[in-house]
Structure 1
Amino acid sequence: MATEDSGGLDLTVSQTVQGLVDSYRRMHMPMGQYVSFILIPSFGFLLLSLLAALLLDLPLMIRLPIPLLGLLAFGAAVFYPKILLSQRKRQLNNRFHLMVTHMTVLATTKIDRMEVFRTLSQEEEYGELANEMRRIVELVDTWNQSLDDACRRRAKEIPSNAVSDFLDRLAYTLGAGQSLEDYLLSEQEQIIQEYSTVYESSLDSLDVMKDLYLSMVLSMTFALVFAVVLPVLTGTDPTLTVSAVIVLYVFVQTGFFLAIRSMAPYDPLWYHPPEKSSPADGKMRKSFYAGVGLSVVLLFISLGGMFGFSPVALGDVVPFVSEPLSLPLYAAIPVTPLIIPGIVLRGEEQQVKSRDQEFPSFIRALGATEGAKQSTTSAVLKSLRHKDFGALTDNVNSLYKRLNMRIEPAEAWRYFTADCRSYLIQVFSEMYLVGREMGGSPKLLGELISSNMNEVLQLRQQRRQATTTLVGLLYGITAASTFAFFIGLQVVNILSSMSLDLQTGSEFDVGTLINTGVYDIPLIEFLLVIVIMFGAMLSSLMIRTVDGGHKMNTYIHFVILTWIGALVAIITKTLVTSVIAI
């Protein structure tokens, strides 16, 4: 049994090393150049950090993170090519279903199959997939290879299994004489299933990361409480120990945020055309300026109240607040106005989601009616605009009016997508428009786009559930960690006052057992409040990353998390004081 376990471990290590070497081979930079300019300097930095930890005359809690920083830099340099390859694979998988749908739309227009690849190679939206299409076109045009040979050759170099298998099957099919349209139409179900598998595996990876994050944050919370309480017995400087643990805490949380961001599936909700604005943009812009402006004003008043140079106190401008305030409130009150743009954005985001839900039925009805009547889009919309498409009804009506005013169809559709502000609606509307302009069947286009968008919307529902779970987890972690922080701080604060009383009424020197004179309680409380604010910021960013919504979506969670931390801190201090006083 031990031999089998060691054999399995050796196989895993061998596969890991082989994958790492393969990632070095696939880099755009030569391997020797990367070793000379990246790996060797990072290894030198690791040695310097080890020497600094051994030679510096500092407490162990301060010296310990120094080699960890050097190890982090060296590890990042070693595994950066692997990370780069994983990012490239993720980019290929994220837009694969959109690219295949676009390819199918183009193939149904009966244009030359090489024109399909040339058109896709010019779509910058597809990123790395567009680069792969461009490489295939270069192999055909420059090196005079056949399309099936070019696809087969690129399939061997692509890190994504889904894209590689697709190109392999495409090469075999084209070589056998089957048309591109027939192959793509027959592959639609399998392509969307592969995309669903990749999407769901990303959500499963996020579930694993949530469990790891909970374990690590609880461990770091224990370490921080330990750093607050331990100097009572040892007499070491608690400010240094707390600061060192806070630095490590920040590194851990930042690392988990970056890991979650790399694992979350790329599926943006919003579409932001730089050249066209919508009424929602003005509303969000005004709310943003109002929220940030009020926050800045309250921040100056709060800082002035803390340091005693402001003629106006927070109690004078904030209702139901009276001076003096607890320190956590000085942090929570100034950020509260940021909830204004968060609430406004939440309402607009719900409208975008509602339009996404209605678009598949609209595009299917448009394609079917246009195909049956053999008429223009404007004539079909004259009857469709009276139907109820929910949140999309007003946008459909506006599209009809623009087309009826003889505005160029492409421009009218761009205004339509700009008003909808939906990424999926923009992408699929562009596909439908291009397919119609090139002579594609409107009924086939409508059914194809509708079915693919419905699959994506179902996956988004799973993502929404994962986001809800993450929100509950992060809110709970914030409350639990803040409770632990301030229990330790308040116990030390009470011990400090008790030791002073004992020293004045007894001949025994309590200071030999309880070292409270080394504590600067207000400074340590300030550091703990900073940890709460930093955790609230990263937690809100994690929620936004998993949710895939607008950047301003972080504000509402940031404000709520900050207030959870502030209220739990105040309640904890009050409870500990009352319990010990009894």
Structure 2
Amino acid sequence: MASSQADNRLPTTITETIASLVDSYGKMHIPLERYLFFILLPSGVFFALSVVVAALVDLPLMIRLPIPLLGFLAMGTAVIYPKILLSQRRQQLNDRFHLMVTHMTVLATTKIDRMEVFRTLAREEEYGELANEMHRIVQLVDTWNQSLDDACRRRAKEVPSDAVSDFFDRLGYTLGAGQSLEDYLVGEQEQIIQNYSTVYEGTMDNLEVMKDLYLSMVLSMTFALVFAVVLPVLTGTNPTMTVSAVIVMYIFVQSGFYLAIRSMAPYDPLWFHPEKYPSPAQERIDKATYVGLGLCAVLAFVSIGGMFGLSPLTLEHVFFFMDDVPIPLHPVVPITPLLIPGIVVRQEEQRIKSRDDEFPSFIRALGATEGAKQSTTSKVLKSLRKKDFGPLTENLDHLYKRLNMRIEPEGAWRYFTADCRSYLIQTFSEMYLVGRSMGGSPKMLGELIAKNMSEVQQLRKQRQQATVQLVGLLYGITAASTFAFFIGLQVVNILSEMTLGLDSTANFDAGSLIHTEVYNIPLIEFLLVVIIMFGAMLSALMIRTVDGGHKLNTYIHFVLLAWIGAVISIMTKWLVTQFLAI
């Protein structure tokens, strides 16, 4: 009975998937005919050609197999690309939804016209796709003379996000019933935050599933790469070709998982990057970056120039205690100075996180005090700046001094957010500034902003835990896969040396049993080092994507993962030699 129910559900699921895919084709921003003839049809032709090439070329199966797989990947990507676009659009709507609703609530409390609220949000480029939706609602009202409630209900049927669709639908019904925009939005704050938390936590759960899949696939590809290194010693096939083919598949798998994680990770950046307002933090980061890249160039010249005799100083002089510098050290030594900007950025990130923790308390106190005393922000800051708000205290003192110097409030707050470098502080400070300038209640604004930011901070802690787990997983995979790669390589290397001994002492042809003459050991080791460096780079990018930090934060993990791979490879070769050498 249960089997029959499962069989009935399977066609339904397939039908729903196909229907969803077809529906995504109708929601593309380009005409359907153009996509079919210029994208989908050429990808199908490319797949057919890849199958023909794989069938005609005279190469081993392990080398021919990736050719049609590449064509199938191109065609499959073209088929599901509209679905991916729709998913990305849904993700963009969900990522900024809570900020947009908070901003809308702040504007609604200022008693301005409700259409002006929508027009203001439509001009906010930071909200991306949500700003576009607001612009479409404004167009329906201004150009097509529809009522605001009808426009909201119409857009509710078109947006791909369930949360946004439900919000527009209830908003249209409420406005049509005569309720004010302010009352509706204030009452919806709790529901909006709960929906955002549900979506955020669901994204974290999806990332957990992706981590398990990534672990399984990387271990499988590691197993295949070890076989590609070892099996040619028995079959006599060209190991360079087999290893290269598996490395290409390895790169495709890792790149695919990186893109998947990048599309799933919630948009919640830590940093704010102002263009017009410099800050001491940016100056420190720039100096550290210039120093790190300069040292990288010098060490690269020493490493590469020394190999070709162009540099008087070589890595042999640096590692004077070694008889021969191992190949894995040549790429990792030049990238080591990237730790300098990475460490500087990491220190700045810790300060930003500390400021974020203190900001809700500050903005709540600021709003409550301004509301009670009915005074200006500068007068309230005169007393608040003396309280301990951790790393935020210094920034508040600078804000007070700028306001006291008669700098216009907007410019003073811009410098404040530029010094803090926090995305959340910049966003919520902008909301508070706009709300106060339009006559909003400071106490209500302070409470509203503090509550929303505290909820976001709680979700960020879950994201930080997921990042720590991902770091442990990727570091462990790097060490285990490198260990497996170089065990296989060193076993083949030792067999090659043993075969030479057998040729000189025995009366049979050892080459008929063990085909070591097909191996170019230094070249294969170089290819393995390349895949280790590529894996370290993609792993560092995955960590940065999930963490949501600065781009330069990637450097720390890239260097550490590369060094782990280099050290494990050297130690593995030494251990295998000690245990197997005769």
* TM bracket (short chain): over 0.9
Moved more, 83-92 or 37-46: 37-46
Contact persistence 1:328–1:569 (CA under 8 A)? yes
**1:200 counterpart residue number:** 201
Please say if residues 463 and 546 of structure 1, whose CA atoms lie closer than 8 Å, have aligned partners that are also in contact. Answer: yes
Instruction: Give yes or no for contact 1:355–1:420 (8 Å, CA) kept in 2.
Output: yes
Residue equivalent to 1:387:
387
Q: CA deviation at 1:200?
A: 0.5
1:74 equivalent in structure 2 = 75
Identity %: 74
Structure 2 unaligned blocks of 5 or more? none
Greater Cα shift, 51-60 or 478-487: 51-60
Which residue is equivalent to 1:529?
A: 529
Q: CA deviation at 1:43?
A: 0.5
Q: What amino acid does structure 1 have at the position aligned with 2:431?
A: M
The residue correspondences of 1:165-314 to structure 2 (distance < 5 A) are 165-314=166-315
SS at match of 2:407: coil
Q: What does residue 115 of structure 2 align with?
A: 114
Letter in 2 for 1:63: R
User: Aligned equivalents of 1:54 and 1:471: distance in 2?
Assistant: 42
Report deviation, 1:308: 4.2
For 1:392-441, what per-residue CA distance to the aligned partner results, in whole angstroms no more than 9, with x for missing partners?
Answer: 00000000000000000000000000000000000000000000000000
CA distance in 2, matches of 1:495, 1:319: 29
TM-score (norm 1): 0.99
The residue correspondences of 1:463-502 to structure 2 (distance < 5 A) are 463-502=463-502
Shift, 1:297, TM fit: 1.0
Q: What are the equivalent positions in structure 2 for 1:9-48 lying under 5 Å apart?
A: 9-48=10-49
The superposition leaves residues 33-58 of structure 1 with CA deviations (integer Å, 9 ceiling, x where unpaired) of 21111111110111000000001122
Equivalent pairs, count: 581
What is the deviation of 1:3?
2.9
Residue 414 of structure 1 corresponds to which residue in structure 2?
Answer: 414
Aligned to 2:373: 373
Q: Which amino acid aligns with 1:223?
A: A
Q: Distance in 1 between matches of 2:276 and 2:269?
A: 19
Distance in structure 2 (CA, Å) of the matches to 1:322 and 1:285: 36
Structure 1 residue 219, shift from structure 2 partner: 0.3
Q: State the partner residue of 1:434.
A: 434
Q: Which residue of structure 2 lines up, in the alignment, with residue 147 of structure 1?
A: 148
SS in 1 for 2:436: helix
Letter in 1 for 2:531: V
Deviations 1:272-307 (A, max 9, x none): 011111001111111111111111111111113334
Distance (whole Å) between structure 2 residues aligned to residue 251 and residue 208 of structure 1: 19
Letter in 1 for 2:511: G
| Aligned equivalent of 1:399 | 399
For residue 5 of structure 1, report the CA deviation from its aligned partner. Answer: 1.9
Q: Distance in 2 between matches of 1:315 and 1:353?
A: 43
Q: Distance in 1 between matches of 2:565 and 2:216?
A: 19
| CA apart distance, 1:540 | 0.2
| Code of the aligned partner of 1:339 | L
Write the distance in 1 (CA, Å) between the matches of 2:183 and 2:200: 26
SS in 2 for 1:169: helix
Whether contact under 8 Å (1:313, 1:323) holds in the other structure is no
- The 1-side partners of 2:563 and 2:321 are apart by 14
| CA-CA distance at 1:30 after TM superposition | 2.0
Report SS of the residue matched to 1:388: coil
Structure 1: stretches of 5+ with no match in the other structure = none
2:103 alignment partner in structure 1: 102
Separation of aligned partners in 2, 1:451 and 1:319: 56
**Cα distance in 2 between the residues matched to 1:367 and 1:181:** 19
Bigger shift: residues 506-515 or 25-34: 25-34
Q: Distance in 2 between matches of 1:534 and 1:319?
A: 25
- Structure 1 distance, partners of 2:355, 2:346, is 14
CA RMSD of aligned residues (A): 1.0
Structure 2 Cα separation of the partners of residues 494 and 307 of structure 1: 28
Match of 2:508 in 1: 508
60-69 or 74-83: bigger deviation? 60-69
1:309 Cα offset (Å): 4.2
2:327 is the counterpart of 1:327: yes
**SS of the counterpart of 1:145?**
coil
User: What are the superposed Cα offsets for residues 425-460 of structure 1, whole Å, 9 maximum, x if unpaired?
Assistant: 000000000000000000000000000000000000
The one-letter code matched in structure 1 to 2:151 is A
Per-residue deviation, residues 230-285 of structure 1 (Å, max 9, x unmatched) = 10001011000000000000000000000000000000000001111100111111
Cα offset, 1:4, TM superposition: 1.9
| CA displacement, residues 1-47 of structure 1 (integer Å, 9 cap, x when unaligned) | 34322211101000100100110111112222211111111101110
TM-score normalised per structure 2 = 0.99
Range moving further from structure 2, 1-10 or 391-400: 1-10
| Residue type at the aligned position of 2:492 | V
Distance in 1 of aligned mates of 2:68 and 2:129: 37
Decide whether the 8 Å contact of 2:296 with 2:337 is kept in 1.
yes
Task: Check whether the contact 2:470–2:543 (CA below 8 A) recurs between aligned residues.
Answer: yes
2-structure distance, mates of 1:51, 1:76: 20
- 8 Å CA contact retained: 2:319, 2:325: no
Amino acid at match of 1:59: P
Q: Is the 8 A contact 1:314 1:323 kept in 2?
A: no
Match of 1:327, SS? Answer: coil
2 CA distance for matches of 1:54 and 1:167?
A: 55
Tell me the distance in 1 between the aligned counterparts of 2:513 and 2:315.
41
